[in-house]
Structure 1
Amino acid sequence: MVVNWQEMLGEAVKTLGGLAKGNPGIMEGYKGLDGAGSAFGALDAKTRELISLAVAATTRCDTCIAVHAQAAAEAGASREELLETLAVAITLNSGAAFVYSSRVLEAFDAFSKK
């Protein structure tokens, strides 16, 4: 898959701008959450952006990927740091599937005992 990330981000900003203009309360609420999530300062910008990219990968948010990839690059993140971050995201996501598989099995067993 080849994506023009700069173009996609520009289009997403336009689309989200339309949403914000149509319902300003949504943007106000989002800005409040965003501000609260970045208010502490214990983590540097690069670390915060790498965490954001791990979350974006696991939540499958292309716009989040574009926003935070740009910010991570601007914050000085290296490709090696990003690859290590993504390895953590992949491991966590596979771990979640492993754990939830036991829940699926439990639910199935509960319904099969009728």
Structure 2
Amino acid sequence: MTDDVEKTLKSFMKHFGALNRDIPDARNAFTDLQKTVHKDGALSAKFKEIICIVASILSPCEECMVYHTKQAITLGATREEIMEACS
């Protein structure tokens, strides 16, 4: 991963650390929601992450784009799948 991606992810995770410190109940609820929504169902977890990439682009949220792209790749998404979804 490039330094910019690592820096963005570190900033993103720092934000969630602050949420955990300041409003842990909300952070825990968000984490539970993520776990529930992003598991395989009628749509695969990989496809859901690709949808999140597109939503992040439309938002726009750079940190979200980086995070969801990393998650999608971890789940096996290819560059071609991500690029086609974003086109």
| TM-score after normalising by structure 1 | 0.64
Query: Which is higher, the Rg of structure 1 or of structure 2?
Result: 1
Cα deviation digits, residues 10-56 of structure 1 (max 9, x gap): 12212320122111122022123223323562222221111111111
Matched-pair contact (CA < 8 Å) for 1:45–1:75:
yes
Q: CA RMSD in A?
A: 1.9
Percent identity of paired positions between Structure 1 and Structure 2: 27
Structure 2: any 5+ residue segments left out of the alignment? none
Larger RCO of the pair (alpha carbons < 8 Å, separation 6+): 2
User: In the alignment, is residue 8 of structure 1 matched against residue 8 of structure 2?
Assistant: yes
Q: How many residues end up aligned between the 2 structures?
A: 85
How many Å separate the matches in 2 of 1:82 and 1:71? 12
SS of residue matched to 2:42: coil
- Residue 96 of structure 1 corresponds to none
- Residue 17 of structure 1 corresponds to 17
How many Å separate the matches in 1 of 2:39 and 2:84? 25
| TM-score after normalising by structure 2 | 0.81
Matched-pair contact (CA < 8 Å) for 1:46–1:77:
yes
Letter of the 2:57 counterpart: A
- Residue 34 of structure 2 corresponds to 34
Give the ranges of 4+ consecutive aligned residues of structure 1 lying more than 4 Å apart after TM superposition.
none
> Offset at 1:79?
1.5
Structure 1: any 5+ residue segments left out of the alignment? 88-114
